């Protein structure tokens, strides 16, 4: 993640570009059509910075590494999910701890009991450590 912060004027400038869906002070959301077009142009041999320049972006504003990093990410999405993968915004969606779907209450009780036993053992261990460090 970049540490750059866009000013209000920079956000306004970026938001006026048709290839930007939205822009905040910390991030740019590129339009779906631009992502697809950029990947196609990259496959045709056009350099990443040139693709962004032709799309009307000031490279000094978006960052010199941004075009290369975006294309790298978009190409990976294309490889994994095809063109339809580039049409869906996936930032902030998915990941995290998977949800546990219990088939019955008995299974849930066994899991919870094991969890309680683990936490009790962990507390006992930490209590012993504290006791040793105080001596």
Q: pLDDT at position 2, please?
A: 56
Integer Cα distance of 5 and 10 in angstroms: 9
CA-to-CA dists, residue 62 to 3, 25, 40, 70, 90, angstroms: 12, 12, 21, 11, 21
Radius of gyration for the chain, computed over Cα atoms and rounded to the nearest angstrom: 24
Q: pLDDT at position 103, please?
A: 86
pLDDT band at 86 (very low <50, low <70, confident <90, very high): confident
Contacting residues for 40 by C-beta, under 8 A, at least 6 apart? none
Integer Cα distance of 93 and 55 in angstroms: 27
Q: What is the per-residue pLDDT across 100-119, written as a single tens digit (0 to 9) for each?
A: 888 899 999 999 999 999 99
Q: pLDDT at position 83, please?
A: 86
Identify the sign of the CA torsion 61, 63, 66, 68: positive
């Amino acid at each position: 993640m970049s540490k750059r912060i866009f000013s209000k004027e920079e956000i306004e400038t970026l938001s006026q570009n048709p290839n930007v869906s939205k822009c905040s002070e910390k991030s740019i959301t590129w339009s779906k059509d631009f992502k697809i077009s950029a990947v196609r142009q990259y496959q045709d041999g056009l350099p990443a910075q040139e693709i962004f320049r032709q799309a009307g972006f000031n490279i000094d504003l978006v960052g010199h590494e941004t075009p290369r990093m975006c294309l790298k990410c978009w190409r990976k999405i294309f490889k994994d999910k095809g063109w339809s993968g580039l049409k869906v915004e996936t930032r902030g969606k998915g990941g995290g701890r998977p949800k546990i779907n219990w088939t019955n209450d008995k299974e849930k009780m066994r899991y919870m009991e094991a969890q309680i036993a683990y936490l009790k053992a962990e507390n006992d261990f930490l209590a012993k450590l504290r006791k040793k460090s105080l001596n």
